[in-house]
């Protein structure tokens, strides 16, 4: 058993480093970082609050989004200050469904992060979503590219709200729905990851009180900080890779992976 509030040990850093590596790789690859974290924490018997660690590692991968999309973010900000806030408003509208779910069902969602079999089932659902997204990607090649509309922003936001459940890939679900709505893969990914910024920041703010009541000492906070930064570095590499291969039919292979992992856990755990 690990307890980050106790004396700092190599095993504690090893466990959090493993979780950070998994988070960095799986946050942007459409295989559900939350599902991997829940299953891994179950396997290594980590005692720390599952959602607290999940949020900390998501903040790490948020840093990767800020780095990769820094030019897009700068353009969005400049447009807003110039009196053209359309994209800021689109992101705000797309964030509302996740905010509603977090405020109305936050405690119930927290409890789900302690149910590894549910996370495994979510991976199977992710596989189905990815296959639908792959079909949409292939069909989109024969149509003209479409911009993000207000209706599309709401629907993609609803997809993001569903992906709060462990095992449901946020990136896979939102990108798949965006492509179903006619967005090109590159634009679908851009809007999806920009939409992740307010969602992750909001989740982190809601969970800040847990830091005071979690019993983490300075050593525990230091370990979480290390894991956050490591997840960000790994996530930067994974995001660059996804953007390079997104338009080449990768969703089908990721779907097979989700079926193997989720089905294997349900069959043998």
Burial of 99 (0-12, 13-18, 19+ CB in 10 A): middle
Is the model's pLDDT at 8 over the cut of 70? no
H or E element that contains 65:
helix 50-68
Percent of the chain with pLDDT over 90: 42
DSSP the chain: -B-TTS---HHHHHHHHHHHHHHHHHTTTTS-HHHHHHHHHHHHTB-S-HHHHHHHHHHHHHHHHHHHTHHHHHHHHHHHHTT--HHHHHHHHHHHHHHHHHHHHHHHHHHHTT-HHHHHHHHHHHHHHHHHHHHHHHHHTTS---PPPHHHHHHHHHHHHHTTSTTS-HHHHHHHHHHHTT--HHHHHHHHHHHHHHHHHHHHHHHHHHHHHS---HHHHHHHHHHHHHHHHHHHHHHHHHHHHGGGTHHHHHHHHHHHHHHHHHHH-
Q: How far apart are CA 208 and CA 225, in angstroms?
A: 14
Position 216 scores a pLDDT of 56
What confidence tens digit (pLDDT) does each residue in 178-211 have? Answer: 999 989 888 999 999 999 998 888 777 776 666 5
Q: Which of 268, 26, 204 is nearest to 37 (CA)?
A: 26
| Predicted local confidence at residue 93, as pLDDT | 95
Tens-digit pLDDT profile for residues 149-172: 999 999 999 999 999 898 999 999
Are the CB atoms for 26 and 32 separated by under 8 Å? yes
- With 90 as the cut, is the pLDDT of residue 255 above it? yes
pLDDT in tens, 65-97: 999 999 999 999 999 999 999 999 999 999 999
Instruction: For the chain, give every domain's residue range.
Output: 10-268
């Amino acid at each position: 058993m690990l307890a980050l509030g106790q004396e700092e040990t190599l095993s504690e850093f090893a466990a959090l480093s493993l979780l950070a590596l998994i988070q960095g790789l799986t946050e942007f690859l459409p295989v559900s970082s939350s599902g991997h974290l829940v299953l891994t924490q179950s396997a290594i018997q980590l005692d720390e609050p599952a959602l607290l660690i999940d949020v900390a590692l998501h903040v790490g991968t948020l840093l990767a989004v800020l780095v990769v999309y820094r030019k897009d973010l700068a353009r969005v900000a400049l447009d807003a200050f110039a009196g053209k806030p359309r994209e800021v408003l689109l992101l705000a509208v797309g964030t509302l469904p996740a905010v509603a779910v977090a405020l109305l069902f936050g405690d119930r969602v927290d409890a789900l992060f302690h149910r590894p079999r549910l996370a495994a089932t979510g991976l199977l659902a992710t596989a189905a979503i990815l296959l639908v997204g792959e079909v949409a990607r292939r069909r989109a090649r024969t149509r003209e590219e479409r911009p993000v509309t207000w209706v599309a922003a709401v629907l993609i936001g609803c997809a993001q709200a569903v992906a709060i459940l462990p095992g449901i890939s946020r990136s896979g679900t939102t990108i798949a729905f965006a492509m179903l709505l006619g967005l090109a893969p590159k634009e679908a990914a851009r809007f999806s990851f920009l939409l992740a910024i307010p969602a992750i920041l909001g989740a982190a703010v809601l969970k800040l009180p847990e830091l005071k009541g979690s019993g983490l000492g300075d050593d525990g906070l230091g370990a979480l900080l290390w894991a956050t930064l490591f997840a960000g570095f790994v996530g930067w590499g994974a995001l660059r890779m996804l953007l390079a291969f997104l338009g080449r039919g990768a969703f089908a292979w990721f779907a097979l992976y989700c079926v193997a992992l989720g089905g294997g856990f349900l069959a043998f755990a």
